[in-house]
Amino acid sequence: MKLPFILSGPILRRVEPTSIYIWITLSRHVKMDAQLFQIDEDTYIPLEINTETKSFKAGEQLYIYLIKISPNKAPFPSCTLLGYNLFFKKGVVVRDLGSYGLLTKEHNRSIVYGNLKYPAFYIDDDSVPTNLLYGSCRKPHGVGGDALIAADSLVEEKHLDHSQRPNGLFFMGDQIYADDVGDPLFPILSVLSSELIGHRDFSSLSKLVPEVLHSRLTRVNARQFLIEHLANFSTGKGDNHLITFGEYAAMYLISWSPEIWEFIQENDLIQSFRQLIENKQLHLKFESEPKKREKELSRLEARYEEQTEHIREFIVTITATRRLMANIPTYMIFDDHDLTDDWNISEKWTETVRNSPLGKYIIGNGLAAYWLFQGWGNDPENFDTSFRNKIENYLGPGNLESGDFKEGLDFLWDYHSWHFIAPTVPKTVFLDTRTQRDFDPRPKPVKLGILIEETTRTPLLISEKGWQSTTEKLLKSGWNKHTPLNIVSPTPVYGMGLIESFLHKYVFPFKVLGFPVQTSFDFDGWKYNGKGFHTFLSQVSSWDPSYVILLSGDVHFSSAVKSEVELNDGKKHSICQFTSSPIHNESFTGVWGLLMKSVLWLNAQKRKEHSLYRSCSETYSLSLTKDKTGIPKQKLWEETINYYSFSDGSIAETKNSIGYLHFDNSVLENTLLMAAEPKTNN
């Protein structure tokens, strides 16, 4: 099958006065060029620019391009609306974005706002902080409306108002769910993977899985055994887990590309449950036991129909998603689900998976896909020719035993420089809390009911070496002490204690026992390792910003917290944390949702008018009290924590949302954009 020419994009990536990067993925190789305009009402003034295009052939029909636009002379103008067009050259034939309906307002693929002729954006100057959109956790078959619709509507409304328009889009993890793939998507991803990459992926994969288990690679609901016992992953939702690079690439495309969904629908790739059975593409665990088989079929059919409905609702949001990403500088960092649930949760997990040929292969594919679809555009100058060559060799035509493949795979596993500094105002540090971890090997006792077992201690989310590397990048970026600083941490530094206690005491045990409880609660947050939490605050103190804004996602509820920290050396720091999650994957529904709403109401009554006090002992033990007199005299630091309430009086929101952070007359305002009405922090 011939795939559409434009597979995904364009996505506006890193934007600075001296360089603008645009990412796009095509099914065929062409020469790329660009044009940039200064827009003054209805006048479009072409700017003198230089363009440099880097392309990466990742498969037979998968070419990824990153176009760099540089000014010919002076830096690009700030606070001025700039528009762009892209050109595709093949021999004497030249086409542009308009050739594919992307510049026609009436076309359902349009990526322009209002009456503009082109996708357009602003470059900020240093006088006013950047208005930001931020969020995480977006799953195609997730429950609820996609909050990116609301973000697109906001930009459409404010696209000519630089003071109100968002000018930075932060995706803070779980842009895809590699471990939680909907049943209806699995056959589609298989077809797309084969068309994108060719048969190379599957021929390689078949060597990592015993022949007797090959049927589990191609059937819906069949991969959990492979993922659990061969890859040594810990996810409980690995029935359709992504494995090959092509499958990861296909998942990004179905998350971002209207053209891909048109291709899927035109080729009737969305199957009914009956078709799945007729085509013998469904794996049944109780195939030989008639009574259990019927119950399993009934359960899987109900799941399939529900997921199909959610996916159909998701498809209609893709055009808005693509338009949003084409018009706003976009920065992305991974969390666990971009690779697999519980990625690097412990030292044992990391070592066991690395020593598993299948597990190591899956993580390598996930990282290669992350770089090409997300990481490359964050800070392109961070990835030199040597880096690119390693990825090319890994994804090349060689077999799994080739030196190039093994070298590339080891390189991906050992690469720990995914963190970056975004050129926003103020600058934003994106932390890598997955590959830069450090582990405490000492076990600790954990009690579950009457059982006590030894378990690995929670990790330090960033090692000492990781903090050193992050500091070097921050200082190299030109950021100065005593000025504001944004920090993106995929997992929140400040959680919601009553919610977490509720999940820990009442919900998580049911999850452990196998009940179908859906949460995103992991015990690898900042506060679950006192030393790591202390190191975070110490590192921020050593940077010594005038104030800190923390942006986070991951936990599937949104909140706003302020902390006043005082260290033993007398330094004081103000930290405001804004959490927005999920974009499209509501977790607290049904009975658990009702219970969670009750918890949130109780939490609001206890927290919104009172402060909490936390301190850290010299042995890195954290204590949280409601009374400041409870803070011990011997301590490394202490902090006062306050939770902000939203306009409806709650202090947390579990519905799908994306945060909108902006300054209005020097007043910081945080609004949750939702499929329904927005909620603003007081």
Burial state string for 258-272 with b = 16 or more CB within 10 A and e = fewer than 16: bbbbebbeeeebbbe
Residues 287 and 430 in one domain: no
Residue 450 has pLDDT above 60, yes or no: no
Residues 300 and 446 in one domain: no
CB 111 within 8 A of CB 324: no
Residues 426 and 295 in one domain: no
Q: How far apart are CA 106 and CA 662, in angstroms?
A: 31
Q: Domain for residue 282, yes or no? A: yes
Dmax over Cα atoms in the chain, in whole Å?
78
Q: Domain for residue 662, yes or no? A: no
Tell me the whole-structure pTM to 2 decimals: 0.94
pLDDT of residue 522: 55
Q: How far apart are CA 60 and CA 29, in angstroms?
A: 10
Confidence bin at 344 (pLDDT 50/70/90): very high
Q: Which of 315, 334, 363 is the last residue of a domain?
A: 315
Residues 6+ away with beta carbon under 8 Å from 355 = 232
Residues 460 and 593 in one domain: yes
Residues 296 and 424 in one domain: no
Average pLDDT over residues 160-169: 95
Q: Domain for residue 475, yes or no? A: yes
E-state strands within 191-338: 330-332
| Cis ω before 10 (30° cut-off from 0) | yes
Residues 500 and 625 in one domain: yes
Q: State how many domains the chain has.
A: 2
Q: 540 by DSSP, 3-state: which?
A: helix
Residues 644 and 497 in one domain: yes
Q: Domain for residue 470, yes or no? A: yes
C-alpha pair distances (Å), 284 with each of 178, 219, 240, 289: 22, 10, 13, 10
Residues 439 and 558 in one domain: yes
Residues 282 and 424 in one domain: no
Residues 427 and 310 in one domain: no
Q: Which of 315, 338, 362 is the last residue of a domain?
A: 315
E-state strands within 425-571: 428-430, 443-448, 451-456, 485-488, 548-552, 559-567
Q: Domain for residue 218, yes or no? A: yes
Name 623's bridge partners: 615
Q: How far apart are CA 611 and CA 478, in angstroms?
A: 36
Q: Count CA atoms closer than 13 A to 152's CA, side-chain side.
A: 21
Q: Domain for residue 447, yes or no? A: yes
Q: Which of 288, 315, 342 is the last residue of a domain?
A: 315
Q: Domain for residue 552, yes or no? A: yes
The tens digit of pLDDT for each residue in 600-642 reads: 666 655 555 578 899 999 999 988 888 888 788 889 999 999 9
Confidence bin at 505 (pLDDT 50/70/90): low
What domain range includes position 475? 420-582+587-655
Q: Which range, of 96-100, 237-241, 283-287, 453-457, averages the lowest pLDDT?
A: 453-457
Q: How far apart are CA 170 and CA 87, in angstroms?
A: 27
Residues 505 and 636 in one domain: yes
Q: Domain for residue 616, yes or no? A: yes
Q: How far apart are CA 553 and CA 583, in angstroms?
A: 9
Count of other CB atoms within 10 angstroms of residue 293: 14
Residues 435 and 310 in one domain: no
Residue 437 has pLDDT above 90, yes or no: yes
